[in-house]
Structure 1
Amino acid sequence: MFRSYLRLTLFALGLLLGVQVPGFVDDYAKRVEAHRLEAEQGLEGFRVTAKRFFAGDLQALVAHYRASKDEVMRSDAQSLSALVERDQWLEREWQAMQGSWYAQVWHLATAADDQLLGETYAAYRYQVLLAPEAIAWAIACALLLAWLVEGTLVLLGLALGVGRSRKVQQRHWR
């Protein structure tokens, strides 16, 4: 009886963990988009200048700043270059989060930015979504967790000889 309740508890825990996956993925994607929009807004004035003088090429504007005889302009070239690189990186991150659900989860698991993950986790509030993908994640995680824990306990019990009858133990030790 205890074993049945343990299974149910593990299954419920797996459900609660699995239902969080789509919400966390969505929060991460929203955070990436917010940072991307902020980076674009920060570059807007530079984009206008690049469009006017360099056919829209921000890298050409950075090169112009670097080649300037004015020390202030050369100093600003480094700042502008960092802004442009961050904007490009956020665009790539945003594109990665536009794919299918499994591509998004894979990206989060393998290539997501640690800082953005930390921000997302710090601001994340546990939620129970009743969307089809959340239900699918919940059931998959519940089954996987229950199967892994029970399988581990059964293997551990077999290794320690728990659950064998005396006759079986005596037969193997003769």
Structure 2
Amino acid sequence: MLRSYLRLVVFALGLLVGVQVPGFIEAYDRHVEARRLEAQEGLQGFRETARRFFSGDMAALVEHYRNSEDAVFQSDAQSIERLVERARILELEWRAMQGPWYARVWHLAFRADRSLIAEVWRSYHFQVLLSPAAIAWGLGCALVLAWLVELAGLLLFRLAGGRRHRSRRRRLA
């Protein structure tokens, strides 16, 4: 009986973890989009300068600042370069999050920017969504977790000599 309750607890835990997946994906997507728009806004003035004097080439603008005799411009070159790189990373992240659900999950699991994931995780609020996607994720995670725990328990039982006890019971019967 205790084993049945433990199975239910494992299943419920998997269900609760699984329903978080769509919420976290959505939170990550919103976070990346907001940061991307912020980065674009921050670069707007520099892009306008690059358009006017360097045919829109931001690298040429950064190089011009870097080669300037003025120490302030040289210092700003590094700042602008960081802004441009951040905007590029955010644009790539945003594009990756525009694909189908399985591509988004794969990207978040294996390719997403870890600093962005950490930012989202720190501000993420656990929630129980009842959308079809959340229910599907919840049931899928619950079944996989229950199956893995059951498999691990069976393996441990076999390693601990579970076979000998069965064969002894058969001999006694």
Q: Give the Å deviation of 1:114.
A: 2.1
Q: Give the Å deviation of 1:87.
A: 0.8
For 1:91 and 1:151, the matched residues in 2 are separated by 42
- Counterpart position of 2:67: 67
Q: Give the Å deviation of 1:165.
A: 5.0
1:166 aligns with 2:168: yes
For 1:29 and 1:43, the matched residues in 2 are separated by 21
- Counterpart position of 1:157: 157
Residues 111-163 of structure 1, C-alpha deviations (whole Å, 9 max, x = no match): 22222111111111111111221111111100001001011111211222346
| 1:90-169 equivalences in 2 (<5 Å) | 90-162=90-162, 164=166, 166-168=168-170
- Counterpart position of 2:82: 82
Identity %: 61
- Counterpart position of 2:41: 41
1:52 aligns with 2:58: no
Q: Give the Å deviation of 1:16.
A: 0.5
For 2:62 and 2:96, the matched residues in 1 are separated by 27
List structure 1 runs of 4+ shifted beyond 3 angstroms. Answer: 167-170
Question: Residue 18 of structure 1 aligns to which amino acid in structure 2?
Answer: G
Q: Give the Å deviation of 1:70.
A: 2.1
Structure 2: which 5+ residue stretches go unaligned? Answer: none
Structure 1: which 5+ residue stretches go unaligned? Answer: none
Q: Give the Å deviation of 1:169.
A: 7.0
Question: Residue 137 of structure 1 aligns to which amino acid in structure 2?
Answer: W
Corresponding residue pairs, total? 170
For 1:133 and 1:89, the matched residues in 2 are separated by 28
For 1:79 and 1:4, the matched residues in 2 are separated by 60
- Counterpart position of 1:6: 6
Q: TM-score, normalised by structure 2?
A: 0.91
